[in-house]
Structure 1
Amino acid sequence: MIKEIFNNTTNNKSDEKLKFNYEIICVTNRKLCGNDFLTQIEKIASKKPSAIILREKDLTKEEYKMLAIDVMKICKKNEVRCILHSFIDIAIEINSNAIHLPLHILKKLSIEGKDKFSIIGASCHSVEEALEAQKLGCTYIIAGHIFDTDCKKGLPGKGLKFLSEICDTIDIPVYAIGGITHENTNQILKTGADGVCMMSEFMKNLP
């Protein structure tokens, strides 16, 4: 079960139901990874998260393509969904049906391009962006950043009220990102979010 990835436990009876009804998504960042990246992906995939988003958007197209092929093989072997990030042409070329896009890239994606994917996600930082992403055909969004995080140094987290507003406004699944750990996940779920995205917890802290 996804809820057991971090052996999360609680003594609060009112929170217990929440643990059975959410998804955990790994968002990669190889620069945070102390181990060989593909070895870490193997470990992550073996824990059965809901999905792995291969975010390494600083790579060249060819570098990303080669990495994506390897990561997709690992995900397929472990029956974990792999969602590619930003590189639309590469995703189509290697027959991925799932893509996550920054909103400015999503806006430029043609109807024909959208038809290539059964899963389209976008990163959103306001209620207005979430509404726009839904209108543009997203099947889910990632909202953030919720809590303060080293990945966004100097920028305060947007908080749980912000997340609640997004969850109350749109009809597609919402996943929270930013400073999320197994200790604060239940706070996220109380807003109505469908799940959480974690980077450091997977890249650095997963044994």
Structure 2
Amino acid sequence: MNMSMYNCRVFAVTNRKLCRIPFLDQVEKIAEKRPAGIILREKDLSESEYMELAGQVMGICRRYGVECILHTYMEAALHLGCPNIHLPIGLLRNSVVEMTRFKKVGVSVHSGEEALEAQGLGATCLIAGHIFETGCKKGLPPRGIPFLEELCRNVDLPVYAIGGINRENAGLAVKAGADGVCIMSGFMNMD
């Protein structure tokens, strides 16, 4: 995967269940490509399991100069000294005080109302999705480019599109106002 082909900021989002090789080997391959960042999104792990894995992923990211963004587990992120966290909107609602301890707070949003709420609660960026059809959301219709355009017009934060993003459609997301894209399957299945 060539990052320059996307002409925008590209973030890798992990899901170790999609990997064909050992997960940390895949993270190393991703880091070698130097995306804008790697979001460690392993929601099925307990916090202690997540913290152990996060320490290893942060080490890989440091070696390659790639930003590491931890997901959901704020205490683990603070314990590991990670200044970046990504939260589901529901967790943000209950963690406004804790999130002030982070430099960057990304939030997943699925509607314009959620985007405005996240902005009002202090998020520093948004991940909006899912924009295109994706195997990760089988049976759920994508929200599409009009949704992304409207969301980008109505918030004053960087917005990153997620869901079915590839080289062919990433430009459509950027043209709609997104500051970049997030890719899961493309990175997790990358050879």
**Match of 2:124, as an amino acid?**
T
* Match runs of 1:75-90 below 5 Å: 75-90=61-76
Aligned to 1:59: 45
Deviation at 1:199, TM superposition (A): 0.3
**Match of 1:24, as an amino acid?**
V
TM-score, normalization: structure 1? 0.90
Deviation at 1:110, TM superposition (A): 3.5
Q: Alignment partner for residue 73 of structure 1, among 52, 59, 63?
A: 59
Deviation at 1:4, TM superposition (A): 3.4
Report percent identity of matched pairs: 51
What whole-Å deviation, never above 9, does each CA across 1:63-121 have from its counterpart, x for those lacking one? 1011000000000010000000000111111111100000000001142x122100001
- 2:38 and 2:67 in contact (8 A); partners too: yes
The separation in 2 between residues aligned to 1:103 and 1:189, in whole angstroms, is 23
Aligned to 1:4: 2
Q: Secondary structure at the match of 1:156?
A: coil
Q: CA RMSD in A?
A: 1.2
Aligned to 1:11: none
Q: Alignment partner for residue 162 of structure 2, among 173, 177, 191?
A: 177
**Match of 2:28, as an amino acid?**
E
Aligned to 2:188: 203
Deviation at 1:148, TM superposition (A): 1.1
Segments of 4+ moved more than 6 angstroms: none
Q: Alignment partner for residue 106 of structure 1, among 92, 103, 112?
A: 92
The separation in 2 between residues aligned to 1:116 and 1:95, in whole angstroms, is 10
What residue ranges of structure 1 are gaps of 5+ in the alignment? 9-18
Q: Alignment partner for residue 20 of structure 2, among 20, 34, 37?
A: 34
What whole-Å deviation, never above 9, does each CA across 1:161-180 have from its counterpart, x for those lacking one? 00000000001000000011
Q: Secondary structure at the match of 1:175?
A: strand
The separation in 2 between residues aligned to 1:190 and 1:55, in whole angstroms, is 27
From the CA coordinates, give the structure whose radius of gyration is larger.
1
Q: Secondary structure at the match of 1:65?
A: helix
Q: Secondary structure at the match of 1:96?
A: coil
Aligned to 1:15: none
